[in-house]
Structure formats: structure tokens, C-alpha cells
């Protein structure tokens, strides 16, 4: 990290932090850095900042760094941190809220795979009303460029009758479309 003026950053991001508190119902300011969340986090090894550090960064207003972090993208929402936090902060919920905000702002950061996954998934549900797994896998592999990911599982799945080659379309697709259109309209 380069040199920074914390007071100035704080001022710039006050509004964002207020919104974050409102949307998540959680206040990172309550964190006293005991690191219990980090100690129990099963995915800390793959993150760029441990969860307790994300809390500290939020306290200091380092919003851009947090939104761009891999941590926010790869948190598995297992809520081990939430279960153990002595300050009763729902850290998993905070991570979730941050992920949604990042997605809406088009911040992909180090989470390109996640971005492609969520977009492909939501499109599949929009078109069929249900998830079309083969389409999802294809879209994902094309979108991320990992063309061979999980292709070893295709045949075993198929042999167990677990893959349907064609999508299933529900009857109420017009209702699903209404829900998507409305979401777009209200921007949520």
C-alpha cells in the first residue's frame, strides 16, 4: 500500500460507510480487532486480506481497496466468523453486502470467475425459470477461459442420470421475466 491521508479518505467515504451500515445492519466500527474471525475462517489461506483486516480497513475508510479485494469475492458465507464474533457483528452479512455493491458498481477486481459465474447463473434462471446446469458449465468455461474445468465430471454425472442435456422450462416464465424487469427498474 502506498502513502495515504486517512482523514481525507475518511471524509470521501463517509457516505459509503453510512450506506454500508444501513444496508447490512452491521457496524464495522464495533470491531475491536480480536481476530477471532480470522482465526476460524476456513478460507483465510486463499484471501488477500484476512476478515479482521477488512474490518480494520473499513474503519479507516479504505473502501476502494476493500471492494477490489479477493476476500470479498471468495468469502464462502459460511458464517463461522459471525457465529464467533464477541462483538456480535455479522461479518458474513457484511461481506455479502460488499459483494453485491461491488457487483453493482461493475468492480470485478480479482473476482472475474465469480462475476462470470453469477451472470451466467442469473441468465439461465431468467430464460428457463430453473438452472440449466449444462448451459451454466459451458457459459462458465467459455467466460473464464478455463475450457476444461470439470469436464472430467461430465460423463460420471451423465451415467448417473444427473445431467439433463436440455433445459427445463417452467410454465411461469412470464412471471420470472416480470420479476427480472422489475429488479432492473428499481435498480436492485
Partner 1 sequence: MKLAYYPGCGLNGSSKELDISFRAISGPLGIDVVEIPDWNCCGGSSAHSTSHFLSFALPARNVINAETTGCEEFTAPCPACYVRHFLAQRDLNENPEMKQHLENALGRKVDKSDMKIKNVIEVFMDKVDSSIVKKPLKGLKVVNYYGCALVKPPKTFGFFDDPENPQSLDKIMRTLGAEVIDWPYKTECCGASLCFTNQDATWKASRDILQMAKDAGAQAVVAACTMCQMNLDMRQSQINKKYKTNFNIPAIFFTQLIGLAMGISADKLGLDKLYVDPKPLLRSLNLL
**Residues contributing to the site for partner 1 (CB under 8 A):** 42-43, 45-46, 73-74, 76-80, 82-83, 90, 92, 96, 99-100, 103-104, 111, 113-114, 117-119, 121-122, 124-125, 129-131, 133, 140, 149-150, 152-153, 156-157, 160-164, 168, 170-172, 175-176, 178-183, 186, 188
Report the nearest approach of ligand SF4 to the CB of residue 135 (Å). Answer: 28
Three-state DSSP at 7 gives: helix
Residue 166 CA, chain-centre distance (Å), reads 28
- Alpha carbons 67 and 64: distance in angstroms, whole number: 5
Q: 124 and 132 in contact (C-beta within 8 Å)?
A: yes
Q: If contact means CB under 5 to 8 A according to the sort of partner, which of partner 1, ligand SF4, none does residue 87 touch?
A: ligand SF4
Report the nearest approach of partner 1 to the CB of residue 173 (Å). Answer: 9
Report the nearest approach of partner 1 to the CB of residue 171 (Å). Answer: 5
Site string for ligand SF4, 95-134 (x = CB under 6 A): x---------------------------------------
Select the residue interacting with ligand SF4 from 13, 24, 26, 52 (CB under 6 A). 52
- CA-based angle 28:76:32, to the nearest 5? 25
Residue 31 CA, chain-centre distance (Å), reads 22
Q: If contact means CB under 5 to 8 A according to the sort of partner, which of partner 1, ligand SF4, none does residue 96 touch?
A: partner 1
Query: In sequence order, which ranges of the chain are alpha helices (DSSP H)?
Result: 6-24, 36-40, 51-59, 63-68, 70-74, 80-84, 91-104, 112-128, 133-144, 151-159, 173-186
Q: For partner 1, give the closer residue by CB, 56 or 173.
A: 173
- Alpha carbons 71 and 137: distance in angstroms, whole number: 24
Q: For ligand SF4, give the closer residue by CB, 114 or 137.
A: 114
- Alpha carbons 26 and 107: distance in angstroms, whole number: 22
Amino acid at each position: 500500500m502506498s502513502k495515504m491521508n486517512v482523514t481525507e479518505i475518511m471524509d470521501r467515504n463517509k457516505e459509503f460507510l453510512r450506506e454500508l451500515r444501513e444496508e447490512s445492519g452491521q457496524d464495522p466500527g464495533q470491531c475491536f480487532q480480536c481476530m477471532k474471525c480470522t482465526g476460524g475462517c476456513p478460507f483465510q489461506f486463499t484471501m488477500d486480506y484476512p476478515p479482521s483486516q477488512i474490518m480494520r480497513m473499513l474503519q479507516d475508510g479504505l473502501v476502494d481497496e476493500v471492494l477490489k479485494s479477493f476476500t470479498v469475492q471468495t468469502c464462502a458465507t459460511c458464517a463461522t466468523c459471525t457465529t464467533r464474533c464477541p462483538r456480535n457483528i455479522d461479518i458474513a452479512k457484511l461481506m455479502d453486502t460488499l459483494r453485491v455493491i461491488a457487483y453493482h458498481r461493475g468492480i470485478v477486481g480479482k473476482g472475474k470467475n465469480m462475476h462470470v459465474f453469477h451472470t451466467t447463473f442469473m441468465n439461465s434462471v431468467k430464460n428457463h425459470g430453473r438452472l440449466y446446469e449444462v448451459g451454466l458449465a459451458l457459459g462458465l468455461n467459455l467466460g473464464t477461459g478455463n475450457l476444461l474445468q470439470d469436464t472430467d465430471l461430465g460423463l460420471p454425472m451423465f451415467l448417473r442420470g444427473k445431467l439433463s442435456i436440455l433445459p427445463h422450462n417452467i410454465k411461469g416464465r412470464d412471471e420470472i421475466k416480470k420479476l427480472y424487469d422489475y429488479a432492473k427498474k428499481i435498480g436492485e
